[in-house]
Amino acid sequence: MAPNFRLDDKVAVVTGASSGIGARCARALHEAGATVVLVARRRERLEELAAELPGAVVLPADLSDPSTAAGLVAEVVERCGRLDVLVNAAGISNPIPATKETLDDFQSVLNVNLVSPFTLAQAAVGAMRANGGGSIVNISSVIAAVSEPSIPEASYAASKGGLASMTRELAVQWARHQVRVNCLAPGWFPTEMTAELTGHEERSARFRSRIPLGRFGDLEELDGALLLLASPAGSYLTGQTIVVDGGTSAI
């Protein structure tokens, strides 16, 4: 079965690749043989990662502006000749009580977490069709399925829930083009976004006590689900959300 998880001669775009889950996705896809295109705002972070991944392409972009999608995909095809995998991992959050969250704040989270994944997928599907198909993996969150009372973030929950629903819809629309669209929904993993939680011993202990496996995830533990969704191993999977959360959403 191992060859089915390979991505040799494929081109994979990963947004949010400057840190956390995005950077881990880029490493996993590179290890599987893909040429990885690294997308995020922080060029220096991308170049540091690219130095570890021979052949990686650095494309800095500000995904808070969804109109950048078409140009970004066109540049990928121009530089790499094709596009086979898109991982929408870029994301932001704004933990604040809903009564205090402004409409501008709410919209800014949706722009990065939901609107940009849509415009990128919309731009990518044409390039994938030209190659006979492809795979789009949207990084959602366990927060799309369950709420965490101690972290008020209505805009983040709305964006991740919307991303899961949008994934199902795009999967159905684009199945005839052999473009698969799925979601990977992580639970609690140590990243920049979760540093205030995972780096605080007392608070993190309370969280860990509510995770059936009793611990936060290691980023490498996302690799298997990611490669299943991105590679030929998951050729009959589309419109699905795989939750990797240590059992959090099962409670």
Q: Is 29 helix (H, G, I), strand (E, B) or coil?
A: helix
Burial of 136 (0-12, 13-18, 19+ CB in 10 A): buried
Residue 121's nearest CA partner among 60, 82, 170 is 170
234/236 Cα distance (integer angstroms):
6
Residue 38's beta-bridge partner residues?
14, 58
69/62 Cα distance (integer angstroms):
10
Q: Is 235 helix (H, G, I), strand (E, B) or coil?
A: coil
Q: CB of 167 within 8 A of CB of 241?
A: yes
219/213 Cα distance (integer angstroms):
15
Tell me how long the chain is. 251
61/69 Cα distance (integer angstroms):
9
Going by C-beta distance under 8 Å and a sequence separation of 6 or more, which residues neighbour residue 106?
94, 154, 155, 158
- The Cβ of residue 187 has, within 10 Å, a number of other Cβ atoms equal to 22
- Residue 236 catalytic? no
Residue 153's nearest CA partner among 203, 104, 106, 210 is 106
- One of 83, 113, 156, 180 is an active-site residue; which one? 156
Catalytic positions: 156
